[in-house]
Structure formats: C-alpha cells, structure tokens
Amino acid sequence: MREVHTPDAPGHTGPSPQAVESGGWLYISALFGNDPHSSVLPSEPRDEAARIFANLDAILAAAGGNRTDVVRVGIFMRALQRDRPVFNEVWQEYFGEHRPTRYAVEVTDFGRPGENRRFMVEAVAHIGV
Amino acid sequence: MREVHTPDAPGHTGPSPQAVESGGWLYISALFGNDPHSSVLPSEPRDEAARIFANLDAILAAAGGNRTDVVRVGIFMRALQRDRPVFNEVWQEYFGEHRPTRYAVEVTDFGRPGENRRFMVEAVAHIGV
Amino acid sequence: MREVHTPDAPGHTGPSPQAVESGGWLYISALFGNDPHSSVLPSEPRDEAARIFANLDAILAAAGGNRTDVVRVGIFMRALQRDRPVFNEVWQEYFGEHRPTRYAVEVTDFGRPGENRRFMVEAVAHIGV
C-alpha cells in the first residue's frame, strides 16, 4: 500500500492520508473544498465545488493518474436540493466527456465543527499498476 | 474504463452513467426503484425495492455479469426502521444463497426533489475480465 | 467470491456475511461495537470504538489478512462532533503507523432500533490473492 501526498491539496487534521494506492486502485480520503495553502473555505458554492475538483486533480497527479481514471465518486451534501445544481455544473466542466459513477446523499454533518462546508466527496480511481 | 448502458434500467438526469467497469470491477451509480420505461416510482415499498433489484439485474446483464457477482451494496433509506424489514425480504428473494456485504444508513435526502423515494442503493460487483 | 466468518466478531441478524473476498479485495459489512459473544453494546464511547476495531481484527484474521491491509474505512456517527475525538484516539491506537483512507459523516440512524449505537464502519482491505 502506497500513501499519496501533495502540498497542492489540503492535508487532514486527523490520522488520514490524502489517498492510498494498492494494486492499481487509488482510494481518496474525504475531500473538501478548502484552499490547500490558506485552508480557507470559499464562500460561494461554485468556488467550493471547483476547489474540490482542483484538490482531486492534485491528488490524482501526485498518484500518477488523472481525472479520466476516476471510477466512482460518493458525494455528501448538507443541502442536497439547494446545492446539487451548481455542484453538477462544476462536475461537468471538470469531467467533460469522462463519466464516473456516482451517488449523492444529504447528511446532517461532516467536516470540522462550525465550518459549514456544503460538499464532501470520497472517490475511487483505477490508475493501473 | 468501460461505460455500461441499458434501456432496462433508469437513466440518470445528471452526468452519470448507470455503471462503469475497469479491471473487472463494476461500479454502479445510485440506483432507484423507478420504472425504466415510465419513470414512475412504485407507491408500495415492496414494489420500489423489487424494482431496484430488477434495475440492478438489467445493469449487471448489460455489463456481462449477474447477481452472484455483487460484492458490496450500500443502502440508503429515508426511514430505516420503518422500511428495512420489507427491503430485507425483497433482498433475500433476490439474492437467495448469494450473500454480498452491505451497510445501511438513514439519511435525510437523496434523489430528485419531491419524489420521496424510500431507497437508494450503490453497488460494486466483480465480474472478472 | 469467498465468504468470511468468525465467531469473534458479531454476526448479522439480516442476510449479510461479515465479509467477502474476491480477487484479493476484502469487503467488510457494516461493523458495530457490540461484543461478539454477549451482543452487548459498551456504554462508554471509547469502549464501543475499541470493540469495533477488535471485531475488525477478528474478521481480517479470519480472511487471512491483518490491519495493515485496510485501504479505506467509511465511518458513520450519530453525533459527529461529540464522538469523533474519542473515535480518532482509538483509531490511532489501533492503526498506529498504518494509515488507511477514510471519510466520516453524521447520519440520522443505523443499526437496530433503540440500540443507539454511536459508530458504524464499513471497510475495504486489499489482502492479496
């Protein structure tokens, strides 16, 4: 099992790596839309979603892969019906012709206390060996 | 990565394929109990659960697999204690002797606004190469 | 697909095995902190979390693996901000230098009615073939 690290995506305060690879499969820990350098969470939902995908790109690159390797994305939102439309717009700009599987649910909380993040993502990619 | 399509399971309004296969592993997007042709959601919980598994069967067949390839199912419900008993009955009728791993949680929302679906499922199958 | 069974982790009342292995990948069903023999749920959060990892160890051993094979853990809590600190302490004692990916969300319910479990975990491990 290989740990993946990049300064261009946020680190975790807890005991988690950004991603690990085993047998060509890359598992990515909970991804948030914070800026990797300032830790600031964008105030606009579009910017928060876009930052998640920029962070995902950085992790994929650090692992030796890219966005076309993404196979499945789990999406967690605090207000699904309110925020899904903008999330989907950003998703399509990011993935373009590449179409990973996904599921999206609304849950009551995730992330650090009081930050009120709108989006959290977990992802699996197949980058080969 | 190979996209899987079948007219015998509902399509997604958003940017998602029904399933993708990579390296023999099949990831299935959020599955709902809507009729694939009319899009109607059954009013009875048993029928909604049964339709989910019929949709799953159609996707597995389109990918070149079948229900005995299913390895893991994530189950999301809006009212877990109310609806799990009937879901489990339908599950056992569907899977029979085959026993995938599973987890089930209650979440506050999923699916399209106002549809009040009871069940959503995400699944992983190993169909080989 | 190979089912994994051990008397040293709780069984499921529903139609689920504790884990299955296919192609070297081990998927573990919803894991709770109940005692495998008495079924009792510890009253203290630390003990409940510790029991989850003891149960995980028993399943990994029965599958022919161990904790360093764990690649991804999904964590569900009923009160994320209240219970995550103690969960993370137990996590670090258990995993030590091994760092799987993870995500954690708060959801409104899981497990059997009325038991008020604090934690549920689903996990994926790569134990090789």
pLDDT of the residue at A116: 87
Specify whether the CB–CB gap between C118 and C46 falls below 8 A: no
Q: How are strands ordered across the β-sheet holding A19-22?
A: A2-4, A19-22, A25-31, A119-126, A70-77, A101-106
From the CA of C33, how many Å to the nearest CA of chain A?
Answer: 20
Percent of chain B with pLDDT over 90: 91
State which amino acid sits at residue B49. A
Instruction: Look at residue B92 and tell me whether its pLDDT is greater than 90.
Output: yes
pLDDT band at C129 (very low <50, low <70, confident <90, very high): low
In this complex, the residue of A25, A99, A104 whose CB is nearest that of residue B30 is A104
pTM of the prediction? 0.97
A93 and C CB contact within 8 Å: no
Q: Residue A114 — left, alpha, or beta (φ > 0 → left; ψ -120 to 50 → alpha)?
A: left
Instruction: Look at residue C3 and tell me whether its pLDDT is greater than 80.
Output: yes
| CA–CA gap between residue A5 and residue A10 (Å, rounded) | 10
| CA–CA gap between residue C122 and residue B104 (Å, rounded) | 10
The residue-averaged pLDDT of C77-92 equals 97
pLDDT of the residue at A15: 77
Specify whether the CB–CB gap between B64 and B127 falls below 8 A: yes
Q: What is the pLDDT of residues C68-82, one digit of tens each?
A: 999 999 999 999 999
A29 and C CB contact within 8 Å: yes
Give the range among B93-107, C4-18, C90-104 with minimum mean pLDDT: C4-18
Cross-chain residue pair B71–C1, CB shorter than 8 Å: yes
The residue-averaged pLDDT of C110-126 equals 94
A83 and B CB contact within 8 Å: no
Full pLDDT tens readout for chain A, 129 residues: 999 999 999 998 777 999 999 999 999 999 999 999 999 999 999 999 999 999 999 999 999 999 999 999 999 999 999 999 999 999 999 999 999 999 999 999 999 888 889 999 999 999 986
Q: Which residue out of A13, A27, A72, A73 would a mutagenesis test of the C interface target, given it has the greatest number of C Cβ atoms within 10 Å?
A: A27
What ipTM was reported for this prediction?
Answer: 0.96
The residue-averaged pLDDT of C58-72 equals 98
Cross-chain residue pair B20–A99, CB shorter than 8 Å: yes
Count of pairs with CB atoms under 8 A, one residue in B, one in C: 68
Residue C27: enclosing H or E segment and its boundaries?
strand C25-31
Q: What is the pLDDT of residues B12-49, one digit of tens each?
A: 877 799 999 999 999 999 999 999 999 999 999 999 99
CA quadruple C101, A70, B101, C105: dihedral sign: positive
Chains touching A, CB cut-off 8 Å, 3+ pairs: B, C
A17 and C CB contact within 8 Å: yes
Q: What is the pLDDT of residues B108-129, one digit of tens each?
A: 999 998 888 999 999 999 998 6
Instruction: Identify the burial level of C118 via C-beta atoms within 10 angstroms of its C-beta, where 0-12 means exposed, 13-18 middle and 19 or more buried.
Output: buried
Instruction: Look at residue C58 and tell me whether its pLDDT is greater than 90.
Output: yes
Domain-by-domain residue ranges, chain C?
Answer: 2-126
CATH, domain range A2-126: 3.30.1330.40
In this complex, the residue of B27, B107, B108 whose CB is nearest that of residue A101 is B27
pLDDT of the residue at B129: 60
pLDDT of the residue at A129: 60
Whole-number mean pLDDT of chain B? 95
Instruction: Look at residue B106 and tell me whether its pLDDT is greater than 90.
Output: yes
The residue-averaged pLDDT of C52-68 equals 98
